[in-house]
Structure 1
Amino acid sequence: MNPHPASSAAHRRGRRAGVRGAGLIEVLVAVLILSIGFLGIALVQTRALSQNNSSMGRSMAIVASYSILEAMRADRANALSGAYDTTVAADDCPASGTLAETQISNWCNELSASLGAAETTTGTVDCDAGGTCTVTIQFDDSRVGAGGNSEQTVVTKAML
């Protein structure tokens, strides 16, 4: 048994008084570290979304280039004669008329709908007499954010 119970209780109270608040500081440090981690996760998520949108834009440009190539394959005679060789701007699509003009107008509207009707969105078709065609699509990809190129160019080369 302890011969001095009063001094032992006073000793325990003194020890607790010196430790009081240490748990609160530990909790505050843990919350600080956790909140920094959450900010890091939010930054990674934001960059991933940005890159995903950029990738979608490039995919849409590839789909649009295949679209005009398939239209040209369906109208091969006019494509080989140069009826499709043109450059279109998505903010100023040409009027329809002949089959080739209608296909080019539809393609221009597709570029406008999928990549934006900005003046920087353009599509170029260039075919040689042998049936080798190059489709070039340029568009603004500023959603890629820091470290990326805001102007993207997708070039597709194919035989008719």
Structure 2
Amino acid sequence: MLMNNQISNRQTGVGLIEVLVAVLVLTIGILGMVALQTKALQFNQESVYTSQALMMAYEMTDRMRANKGSQLDYLVDYGSNVIANADCESSDCSPSQMAKFDAAAWKSAIEVNLPSGDGQIAVDNSGTRPFYTISVRFSDQRLDSALEGGTAGASLREVSVRTEI
């Protein structure tokens, strides 16, 4: 009997330690799942922005193809403001006016739909036929805030489409 009493005295509290270890392991697992879910949401948002940028680049390619002969009027740089001289939705326009109208509407849509969004249309005349590069860039603001110092614009993403029209 004395031996039985000594063994039970040494094991007092062992069950509580086992429960605490189990709770610790469970907590670490839950924190891991929360971190995984947060990353999944971040990558999902970046994927949405990339898809929107790509659709906008292809939309501009289609507009340029529909207005053949005025492709050079579509050329715009990052940071430039394009001003449409005519409202081509409600009245007839020349091909050049339509190009400026399309470029202004395109740049405006990029700025509205993408964080720090901007667009560029450039031409490469080095070959026998010109190639046009339509680029859309945007900032992943979640990544900007996660970077040390919160440097705005440090995580610029760019989507480009190169085409022959």
Q: Which of the five TM-score ranges fits, normalised by the shorter chain? A: 0.7 to 0.9
2:137 aligned with 1:138: yes
2:162 aligned with 1:157: yes
Alignment check: 8 A CA contact 2:76 2:82 kept: no
Instruction: Give the unaligned 5+ runs of structure 2.
Output: 87-96, 148-153
For the residues of structure 2 that align with 1:11 and 1:111, how far apart are their CA atoms? 81
Instruction: Give the unaligned 5+ runs of structure 1.
Output: 1-7
Normalised by the length of structure 2, the TM-score is: 0.74
C-alpha RMSD of the superposition? 2.4
For the residues of structure 2 that align with 1:100 and 1:54, how far apart are their CA atoms? 30
For the residues of structure 1 that align with 2:52 and 2:82, how far apart are their CA atoms? 18
Normalised by the length of structure 1, the TM-score is: 0.76
For the residues of structure 2 that align with 1:74 and 1:95, how far apart are their CA atoms? 18
For residues 61 and 96 of structure 1, do their structure 2 counterparts lie closer, same or farther at Cα, with a shift above 3 Å needed?
farther
Q: Residues 40-84 of structure 1: CA distance to partner in whole angstroms, max 9, x if unpaired? A: 2211221222122222222211111001010111111211xx111
Which is higher, the Rg of structure 1 or of structure 2? 1
Task: State the percentage of identical aligned residues.
Answer: 28
For residues 78 and 71 of structure 1, do their structure 2 counterparts lie closer, same or farther at Cα, with a shift above 3 Å needed?
same
Paired positions, count: 144
Amino acid at match of 2:164: M
Aligned match of 1:48 in 40, 43, 53? Answer: 40
Alignment of 1:1-160 (within 5 A): 8=1, 12-79=4-71, 82-87=72-77, 89=79, 94-95=83-84, 97=86, 98-116=97-115, 118=116, 121-127=117-123, 130-144=129-143, 145=146, 150-160=155-165
Amino acid at match of 1:103: D
